[in-house]
Amino acid sequence: MNRADLKIVIVGRNGQLAWEANQRFQGLGQIICLGRPELDLLDLNAVREEIRRIKPSVIVNAAAYTAVDQAESEPEAAMKINSEAPAAMAEEAKRLDALFITYSTDYVFDGKSATPYMETDPTAPLNVYGASKLSGERAVEAVGVSSLIFRTSWVYGARGKNFLKTILKLATERPELRIVDDQVGAPTWSRDLADATRKIIEQLVAESSSARTSISDALGDRRGIYHMTAAGSISWYGFAAAILEEMGKRGLSRGTLAKLVSIPSSEYPTPAARPHNSRLCNEKLKNAFDVTLPPWPESLAAVMNELG
């Protein structure tokens, strides 16, 4: 398969990852971005019909129910969007001999490990959101489609609702911000995820073209779950401090920025429990596709350059 024949459907047009993928995939083939209102992931029949109409060679599911705390009171919606919808897409991809790509989360783990999690480590989600994403992973793998499931963490960017956008706003509105300092992970820029995904698709297109086979056949036994996060790790408090430092460098505040106060998770109760260790090991991704994401401070600076 060559680029001229490549038809990629990106699901989740209005989300930060889908938006970046739509921008970064340009020139890779025919790119079709689907989202609300014309595509509702709660309507699985409509999802199936749209995929059958388009007949893509690659489906990238960048849509998800990501309201972690809200999921505690809306478990049915979270499960339908994060598990049933990806399974339906995977079934349609298998029928078309297409490649299916979707994204999962560090929240499939309980965070009790002292080291970064490997793909093969036992899962034990602490909240409904994590459980719904884990159910989605298992449902997709049960279909037997040629699939790539990328677990990532702490996704942020210049668009959408995320930790970066919240800190940028509150740092100029409040005198003090109390930020949890005992949860550690890798803040991951949505653009880095899109770029890494593109690189992998490009590899598979090149391999399928030289072997004169389908892109799903080119993936072969490399299908499965991979961890895909920024290099390095930091606590939420440390990430907030880095954001304020970048704001100061760029003069993004007309007045004094908020004072940061480090607190334990116990002092910031939320409906959904969070893992203390969200660090993921990315070696499998590097070994299979020679793809790594930049260090998180480097990507944060790049986002701030765009914003500032």
CATH number, domain at 64? 3.40.50.720
Cβ–Cβ < 8 Å for 31, 10: yes
Within 10 angstroms of residue 297's Cβ, the number of other Cβ atoms is: 17
Reported residue count of the chain is 308
Residue 152 lies in a domain: yes
Maximal CA-CA distance, the chain? 62
Return the DSSP state at 161.
S
Does residue 165 fall inside a structural domain?
no
Q: Which residues fall within 8 angstroms of residue 107, CB to CB, at 6 or more apart?
A: 68, 125, 126, 127, 129, 130, 133, 274, 275, 278
Supply the pLDDT for residue 256: 84
SS3 assignment, position 189: strand
pLDDT in tens, 194-247: 999 999 999 999 998 877 888 888 999 999 999 999 999 999 999 999 999 999
How far is Cα 203 from Cα 200, in angstroms, rounded to an integer?
Answer: 5
Q: Give, in degrees to the nearest 5, the angle at Cα 297 between 291 and 298.
A: 60
Positions marked catalytic: 129
154 is a domain residue: yes
- Assigned domain for 238 exists: no
Query: What's the pLDDT at 16?
Result: 92
Query: Tokens at residue 20, please?
Result: 């970046």
Q: What percent of the chain has pLDDT over 90?
A: 83
| pLDDT tens string 31-65 | 999 988 778 898 899 999 999 999 999 999 999 99
Residues 6+ apart with CB under 8 A from 110: 124, 125, 126, 275
Q: Is residue 263 part of a domain?
A: no
Does residue 255 sit within a domain?
Answer: no
Average pLDDT estimate for 89-101: 96
> Phi and psi dihedrals of 8, rounded to 5?
-110, 125
Res. 1 pLDDT band, cuts 50 70 90: low
CA-to-CA distance for 47 and 67, rounded, in angstroms? Answer: 22
Number of domains observed in the structure of the chain: 1
pLDDT band at 160 (very low <50, low <70, confident <90, very high): confident
Please give the pLDDT value at position 2. 61
120: how many CB neighbours lie within 10 A of its CB? 7
State the residue range of the domain holding 32. 3-160+188-231+280-294
pLDDT at 154: 97
Rounded to an integer, what distance in angstroms lies between the CA atom of residue 121 and that of residue 77? 27
Which residues lie below 8 Å from residue 282, measured CB to CB, with a gap of 6+?
226, 227, 228, 229, 231, 292, 293
d(CA 277, CA 107): 10
For residue 272, is it within any domain?
no
The model's confidence at residue 282, banded by pLDDT at 50, 70 and 90, is very high
75 falls within a domain: yes
Inter-CA distances, 213 with 79, 178, 271, Å: 35, 54, 48
**Per-residue tokens: 30:** 């025919």
Alpha-carbon dihedral sign for residues 35, 41, 46, 52: positive
pLDDT at residue 255 is higher than 90: no
